[in-house]
Amino acid sequence: MRDVIVIGSGGGGPVVAKELAARGLDVLLLEAGPRNAKVEEAWSHYEDDQNNLFKGALRWGPAARAKTNWFRETPQRSYITQVAGVGGTTNHYFGNCPRSMPGVFTGYEGADRAAYDVAHLFPFTYRELVPYYQWVEHTLPVKTAPMGTKEQVFFRGCEGIGLPVQTTKDATRDAFRPQENSILQPQGNAGLTTNAALLRYPQAQGCTFCGYCYQGCKEPIRSPANLKAKRATSTSYVPMALTADLWMPGGKAVSLVANAFVTKVLTATESGQVVAKGVTWRDTETGLSYTEDAKVVVMSAGCVEDPRLWLNSGLPNPNGWVGKGLTDHALDWVIGVMPYDTNSSKGPASAARADFPGVGCVENVGLPPALQGLTASFSDSGVRGAYNVGRGETGPWTGQTGRAMGHEIKDLLSNVNRLLNVLVLTDDDVEAQNQVSLSSVFPPDEHGKIPKVEIQKRQRSARTLSNRRKLAERAALILKAAGATKVIRPDFPPLLLHMQSSMRMGSDAATSVLDANAEARWVKRLFVADNAALANACGGMNPTLTTQALATRTSEKIFQLYFGGSPWVSREAPLSSVDDRVTQAVVQRGL
């Protein structure tokens, strides 16, 4: 019997696995997708090869890319950007690591408290989570992003609309700032040349400014796995977990099994209480099924697969909130056409942001050409410009909202380095109708009934829709203040990138699945440690850092509740994932 089984190796699961293995527990980490152990072979700069929804390397599907991806029912027109494989969706995130806004936590007394979704707060205070933030920030590590031309242009626009600069990690006022991100700082030749021969490790270390953050990260070439620039869990927490016996006295190496799709959480009844006892998982390459027992089970399969697994396992759901309350930051995109070069496609993809507490945030994003074309043509308002169908909203952008087509899209893509992009991240309300359930239309696949993901853009709360509009307006004004000659707002349909809260924790047992320890209310010894556990939309902030801080806190609670351990975050110094001891362990184990 294992001490702990962790389901999923995306943003949260490896955090729990590493922390508990470092304390000497026997941990099994199961991942539905491939291992992609040879990072430099797995990731490329070919955009369709990486990002194609059906056959790309970064997709939700089995290891063999010739096989079809795993299907989800989406009644609305939407696009789910979830990745299967070790590292999960962190393989294509931008590494942005801001803390949540304090207003989304219990105990917040700021003047803007009423601006938040106060009915669905985190069941503890912001200050209680700060030590866990600090622990993760040191472990990854998180630093202030290096600045370049596109960041300078974005900041000029922020100053132009009267925003002050933010100098702390606590977002309590409207302000702009550099991103706090988990991308290693450039050293040596990194950032100083485009000559590939000079950008190999150890001559170059950290970010090489290639501009392809969305497509995994293999830079710098020839570096050990834990020294790749972008701190996806596949290059940070996973290497630490697999070598915990080497760098931590008394630690135990995590057992990792890829291509292992968990199909059922096993339970028993003890003293009238349902208790998690293990899992059944299917080898996606051989088709064989296996059963593993454990004292504790941790679900970290993502906001879609966690509720699917719960419901397919027949676990209790007395208040009906399993899968409900899905938030996605109601994303939108605003593009400025500038009369000068911005170097938009170069360097870390997203290194500058502006926060608006109670409303959300906006951040600068640079993209290579094909992804830039996708963002300009992904719309819920029809076609704009010369082909205008007259459906889109008007505002401080040029003309109506809608997708760019024809000569307009050609002009935009003729030089992506004359563009400046702003991504809108809304502070959503938690709403029960936005949900993950089981499909009654499509047949089950080899892993059981498939998930149905419902999140209608036009059926959001008045506050969510108002926040989205306000942020799009501010993004347009920032671009104009920076000198944009044209501002395009496509008006995205649901782009399910920042999914959160489908298995939410909370103080109110009537509207939450997890208690304040992230333990399931109706199944003891079963925890959730990914974005699904988040209580709300985090104020519109990028969720990964909060998920990883919460996962650290959850692992500590597991250690205390079921293994007789003591808390460690308040009294130990964390080890960085790029520490020499970790690097030596990674090289020794051949990772």
Q: Which tens digits make up the pLDDT trace of 394-440?
A: 999 999 999 999 999 999 999 999 999 999 999 999 999 999 999 99
Q: What is the pLDDT of residue 397?
A: 97
Rounded CA separation 302/9 (Å): 10
Render pLDDT for 145-181 as a digit per residue (tens, 0 to 9). 999 999 999 999 999 999 999 999 999 999 999 999 9
pLDDT exceeding 70 applies to what percent of the chain? 100
Residue 458, pLDDT above cutoff 80:
no
What's the rounded mean pLDDT across residues 244-268?
98
What is the dihedral angle through the alpha carbons of 274, 278, 282, 285, rounded to the nearest 10 degrees?
A: 150
Render pLDDT for 286-335 as a digit per residue (tens, 0 to 9). 999 999 999 999 999 999 999 999 999 999 999 999 999 999 999 999 99
Rounded CA separation 376/336 (Å): 11
Per-residue confidence at 272, pLDDT binned at 50, 70, 90?
very high
- Of 53, 56, 86, 87, the residue nearest 71 (C-alpha): 53
Whether residue 481 contacts residue 491, with contact meaning beta carbons closer than 8 Å, is answered with no
Per-residue confidence at 456, pLDDT binned at 50, 70, 90?
confident
Q: What is the pLDDT of residue 52?
A: 87
pTM more than 0.75: yes
Distances (CA, A) of 365 to 300, 351, 467, 563: 28, 8, 20, 44
Phi-psi region of 586 (alpha: psi -120 to 50; beta: other; left: phi over 0): alpha
Average pLDDT of the residues of the chain: 95
Whether residue 28 contacts residue 292, with contact meaning beta carbons closer than 8 Å, is answered with yes
Per-residue confidence at 32, pLDDT binned at 50, 70, 90?
very high
Helix (H, G, I), strand (E, B) or coil at 153: helix
Residue where the block lists tokens 């036009």: 458
Per-residue confidence at 79, pLDDT binned at 50, 70, 90?
confident
Distances (CA, A) of 369 to 295, 413, 423, 476: 49, 6, 16, 21
Residue where the block lists tokens 């090489």: 208
Render pLDDT for 532-586 as a digit per residue (tens, 0 to 9). 999 999 999 999 999 999 999 999 999 999 999 999 998 999 999 999 999 999 9
Per-residue confidence at 389, pLDDT binned at 50, 70, 90?
confident
Which are the contacts of 237, defined by CB distance < 8 A and separation ≥ 6? 14, 15, 17, 18, 139, 577
Rounded CA separation 209/184 (Å): 11
